[in-house]
A and B are shown apart, each in its own frame.
Chain A
Amino acid sequence: MPSHFLYMTLYALLVSVFFAVLWRRDRREQLRLFLQIFLGMVGGGLLVAWLMYPFPFGPPAPLL
């Protein structure tokens, strides 16, 4: 069963590990950057999803 949240989290995990290793050399700094990017991506994604919730894709619902 495909899960949008799972895909998003997996993507955030790969990207955040990548940038932490690429941009930082010290282990503590790597962990810190990893958490910043990972939580920023997942949290930002959830925030944007929540903001878009009142605006569903598709034609407007018919007026009653």
Chain B
Amino acid sequence: MKTQAEPQSPSPTVSAKTVAACVAAWLVPGSGHLILGRVPRAAIFFVLILLCAFVGVQLEGKLFVPQENAPLSRLGTLGSMGMGVPYFVLRYAIEYEGNLKSASYEYGSAFLLTAGLMNLMVILDVWDIGRGTKD
């Protein structure tokens, strides 16, 4: 006979708002948090990720694109695409590629890739907040 009630596991739900917030978070860094009402955090992520991408471009780093016979370039592309619209603006609108001869090329590449990876983690944070597993 049980004397204590068993702790109930939380049953997080996924709403359409959560999914929309995740998509928005991918497209524009910080917008997912904005939709969920986390305005200060949205502003911080927006500034941080765009600043990271901006510094990467200023340092003439590499913007990853898929290359044949280079499987890791696909991973790098996926990571960089995490920054959403800024990636596609850089790649297609500005046709930015980076400058291999620049002294800061490697640093810039790290900044650009990090911007994408940071936004991917922000999307996971939005997902957790939307499901109610995080405040």
CB-CB contacts below 8 Å: A7-63 with B: 7, 10-11, 14-15, 17-18, 21-22, 25
Cβ of B19 within 8 Å of any chain A Cβ, yes or no, is: no
Chain B contacts of A7 at CB under 8 A?
Answer: 59, 104, 107
* Chain A residue with Cβ nearest B121: A22
Interface size class of A (residues with CB under 8 A): 10 to 19
Check A18–B55 contact: CB distance below 8 A.
Answer: no
Check B107–A22 contact: CB distance below 8 A.
Answer: no
Cβ of B97 within 8 Å of any chain A Cβ, yes or no, is: no
Number of A-B contacts (CB under 8 A): 33
| Whole-angstrom distance between the Cβ of B78 and the nearest chain A Cβ | 19
Check B114–A11 contact: CB distance below 8 A.
Answer: yes
Interface majority SS on B: helix, strand, loop or mixed?
Answer: helix
Interface majority SS on A: helix, strand, loop or mixed?
Answer: helix
A10 to B52, CA, bound (A): 9
| Whole-angstrom distance between the Cβ of A39 and the nearest chain B Cβ | 19
Q: Which of B48, B104, B110 has the most CB of A within 10 A?
A: B48
CB-CB contacts below 8 Å: B22-53 with A: 41, 44-45, 48, 51-52
A7 to B44, CA, bound (A): 20
Check B114–A22 contact: CB distance below 8 A.
Answer: no
Check A2–B104 contact: CB distance below 8 A.
Answer: yes
Check B135–A22 contact: CB distance below 8 A.
Answer: no
Chain A to chain B contacts (Cβ below 8 Å), 9 pairs: A10-B55, A11-B110, A11-B114, A14-B48, A14-B52, A17-B44, A17-B48, A21-B41, A22-B121
Cβ of B83 within 8 Å of any chain A Cβ, yes or no, is: no
Chain B contacts of A21 at CB under 8 A?
Answer: 41, 44-45, 48
